[in-house]
Amino acid sequence: MTSDQLMMLLVGALLAFMMYRQFAGKVAPERARELVAQGARLVDVRSPGEFAGGHLPGAVNIPVGEIGSRHGEIGERSKPVVVYCASGMRSASAASTLKGLGFLEVHDLGSIARWGG
C-alpha cells in the first residue's frame, strides 16, 4: 500500500467516524415525525430568540439550561418526547437530562434541519 493510499484510507476512516459521532443515538427523522404524529411531545431546547426565529410546528420551547426546572411542562414521564436544537449538541444534553429525570422514552432528533419532510 502506498503512502497516498494509506492517507486516503485514514481520511475515509476519520470521515466515517465523524459521521457516526454526529448521528449516534439520534432518532431517524421519519421516526421522529411519526412519534410526534402519534402524540409525542416535541421540545425545542434552543434559546427563546432562536425559537422565535422559526421552529417546528407544535414544539414547546424549553432551553436546555432550563430543562431541569421546567420538565413538568413536558408532561408525563411515560409519554414519548422528541428533543431538537440547532446542531445536536444541546438536544443530546437535554435528552440525557430528561432520561436522568425518569422520562422513559426520550428521542433525540439532533438538528432541526434533520426534520425535513
Q: Which fold, 25-114?
A: Oxidized Rhodanese; domain 1 (3.40.250)
Domain residue ranges in the chain: 25-114
Q: Output helix, strand, coil percentages for the chain, rounded to the nearest 5.
A: 50, 15, 35
Query: From the candidates 59, 64, 82, 85, which is the catalytic residue?
Result: 85
The type of residue at 23 is: F
Report pLDDT digits (tens) over 34-85.
999 999 999 999 999 999 999 999 999 999 999 999 999 999 999 999 999 9
Q: Where are the alpha helices (DSSP H) in 1-117?
A: 3-23, 29-37, 48-52, 67-70, 89-100
Choose between 85 and 21: higher pLDDT: 85
Span 80-89, pLDDT tens digits: 999 999 999 9
pTM > 0.95: no
Helix (H, G, I), strand (E, B) or coil at 20: helix
Task: Fill in the amino acid letter for 9.
Answer: L
**Catalytic annotation on 56?**
no
Cβ–Cβ < 8 Å for 89, 65:
no
